[in-house]
Amino acid sequence: MSNLKEVQARPSMDNNNTVLHITMLPWLAMGHLIPFLELSKCLALKGHRITLISTPRNIKRLSNLSPNLSPLITLIELPLPHVHGLPENAESSMDIHTNKSQHLKMAFDGLEAPIAAFLERSTPDWIIYDYASHWLPTIATRLGVPCAFFGLFTAAFLAFIGPPSVVLSNEATWSTAEDFTVAPSWVPFPSNIVFRLHEVKHALPENISGFSDSYRFGIALRDCEIVLVRSRVEFEPEWFKLLTEFWQKPVIPVGFLPPSVEDGADEKDWAEVNAWLDKHRTKSVVYVALGTEAKLSQDQVNELALGLELSGLPFFWVLRELPGSTKDGNDMGMLPDGFEDRTRDRGLVFKGWAPQVRILGHSAIGGILTHCGWNSVIEALSLGRALILLPVMHDQGLNARLLEEKKIGLEIPRDERDGSFTRDSVADTVRLVMVEKEGEPLRSKAKEARVVLGNRDENEHCFDGFVRFLMEHKRQQG
């Protein structure tokens, strides 16, 4: 697996040394591109050939491949078609404001013809695709190539959005934001895994792309041969069972795909960060990172900053200025007057991209204040870091509820309607999770979760089952 020290890539010894050629097509977001690349690396370490398709700027954003993997992984660049209303050079969700996400999907849909032409020439054994490319299974069927939907979400999220009768319906099941805040009728067991109103009130954009996200998910799930989930049955058994009942096809866990601590770090950047972390005691620092897309209001940035100051604990805060932000009180880069000077002795605000996995792997880090993106959760728990939860958008709210239900994270209290929170709630939650006696069970649970999420052998056993399925299917078809 990719969290191992990399060894020479080798052909699998099962099924007569069958070597597969697999094409990958992720959605245009770093939170999707990175796990698709991780999956590619894991397959290449088994000796299989991978072709990963994306746009030029996104391909350049991916970390360099190690010499033993680069002969087996080919990165293909296809220019993104221009769409009116999409900013120039925008090729990823990190390049745009969230109100332009439908424009990006329209541009992505414009890749259908060039991708079809490429697949006709390359004849892969399998195609693994993402939710946005609902048109991909039709191409695969025409070419006689089996395809797999790779769900970069928890099984809980994929089951929450509904069975086929819901996600493929023309009726507006999710017509209001309030609909998301109660347990769906199709969940047959008690569940608190629901959204809060503030997490979804802006999640119902005008459907200018012609296809709702629900429809894209529905077609992607309906028309694949198998559903792949970046999780394990042991972590969410009831949700895997429900998902299988909904779609009546193999739902296969691929494991958590925890990345290598060495992955994706520029040595110059890391030297600066490492020097700062080395000055702090073991597990004393809270790492604060809200992903590449999550956007807080100016008031929320202020309260988060003042809460970190009030906590009295060391912190390392990665703060990015997001596309579309302005200077009129909605800029994530604006901090309270004097904040950095007052906290200089124990806090660092790192403005820009930071080597997150390496930071989390440093002994000084005790916990993470996270937006609950599934990538970040996996990275943190695979290293045993305690979780302070501040979900903002997309699936993050459901992830937060799932983690709280498992008692491996604690959410910062917020107003459920507008998402506001106070500096006191930030300080109290950070201190409880990081240092106070009442937080010891959470810290212990995080250590236990490392066994499930970060265990090399168990993740590899799970992954090997997935690979055997792919090869057995090819053998049967061959």
CATH number at residue 444: 3.40.50.2000
Neighbours of 435 (CB within 10 A): 18
Contacts of 185 (CB under 8 A, 6+ apart): none
14: DSSP letter: S
Amino acid at 88: E
Containing H/E element for 360? helix 356-361
Closest by Cα among 210, 129, 219, 126 to 169: 219
Residue 61 resides in a domain = yes
> What's the mean pLDDT in 304-318?
96
Q: Are residues 433 and 473 in the same domain?
A: no
Residue 350 resides in a domain = yes
Closest by Cα among 454, 453, 450, 281 to 365: 281
Residue 411 structural domain: 267-453
Per-residue model confidence (pLDDT) at position 331:
42
Q: Are residues 441 and 462 in the same domain?
A: no
Per-residue model confidence (pLDDT) at position 332:
44
Residue 14 resides in a domain = no
User: And the tokens for 307?
Assistant: 């809460």
**What are the tens digits of pLDDT across the range 245-291?**
999 999 999 999 887 765 555 566 788 899 999 999 999 999 999 98
Q: Are residues 356 and 467 in the same domain?
A: no
Contacts of 60 (CB under 8 A, 6+ apart): none
Residue 285 resides in a domain = yes
**What are the tens digits of pLDDT across the range 106-157?**
999 999 999 999 999 998 999 999 999 999 999 999 999 999 999 999 999 9
Q: Are residues 209 and 318 in the same domain?
A: no
Q: Are residues 388 and 463 in the same domain?
A: no
On whether the CB atoms of residues 350 and 316 are closer than 8 A, the answer is yes
186, burial (CB in 10 Å: exposed 0-12, middle 13-18, buried 19+):
middle
Strand order in the sheet with 285-289: 347-351, 315-319, 285-289, 365-370, 386-389, 410-411
Residue 9 resides in a domain = no
Residue 2 resides in a domain = no
> What's the mean pLDDT in 403-407?
94
**What are the tens digits of pLDDT across the range 41-74?**
999 999 999 999 999 999 998 878 888 898 999 9
The rounded distance, in Å, linking the Cα atoms of 266 and 352 is 13
User: And the tokens for 228?
Assistant: 């792949």
Complete DSSP assignment for 196-260: -HHHHTT-----TTSS-HHHHHHHHHHSSSEEEESS-TTTSHHHHHHHHHHH-S-EEE----PPP
Residue 152 resides in a domain = yes
Q: Residue 8 — very low, low, confident or very high, per pLDDT cuts 50/70/90?
A: very low
The rounded distance, in Å, linking the Cα atoms of 162 and 156 is 10
Residue 216 resides in a domain = yes
Q: Are residues 368 and 250 in the same domain?
A: no
Q: Are residues 249 and 368 in the same domain?
A: no
pTM for this predicted structure: 0.89
On whether the CB atoms of residues 331 and 325 are closer than 8 A, the answer is yes
Contacts of 411 (CB under 8 A, 6+ apart): 389, 390, 391, 400, 404, 429
Q: Is 431 in a helix, a strand, or coil?
A: helix
Per-residue model confidence (pLDDT) at position 2:
40
> What's the mean pLDDT in 458-463?
88
Residue 196 has pLDDT above 60, yes or no: yes
Q: Are residues 372 and 419 in the same domain?
A: yes
Q: Are residues 242 and 358 in the same domain?
A: no
Q: Give, in order, the Cα–Cα distances in Å from 144 to each of 18, 25, 99, 468, 474.
A: 19, 17, 37, 20, 12
Per-residue model confidence (pLDDT) at position 478:
64
Q: Are residues 287 and 252 in the same domain?
A: no
Per-residue model confidence (pLDDT) at position 258:
81
> Beta-strand (E) ranges in 290-421?
315-319, 347-351, 365-370, 386-389, 410-411
% residues pLDDT > 70 (the chain): 88
Per-residue model confidence (pLDDT) at position 175:
65
Q: Are residues 221 and 271 in the same domain?
A: no
**What are the tens digits of pLDDT across the range 214-235?**
888 889 999 999 999 999 999 9
Residue 174 has pLDDT above 80, yes or no: no
Q: Are residues 302 and 177 in the same domain?
A: no
Q: Give, in order, the Cα–Cα distances in Å from 393 to each of 98, 195, 396.
A: 10, 10, 6
Closest by Cα among 227, 98, 209, 249 to 157: 227
Per-residue model confidence (pLDDT) at position 317:
95
Our count of domains for the chain comes to 2
In the numeric block, the tokens 């990275």 are attached to: 379
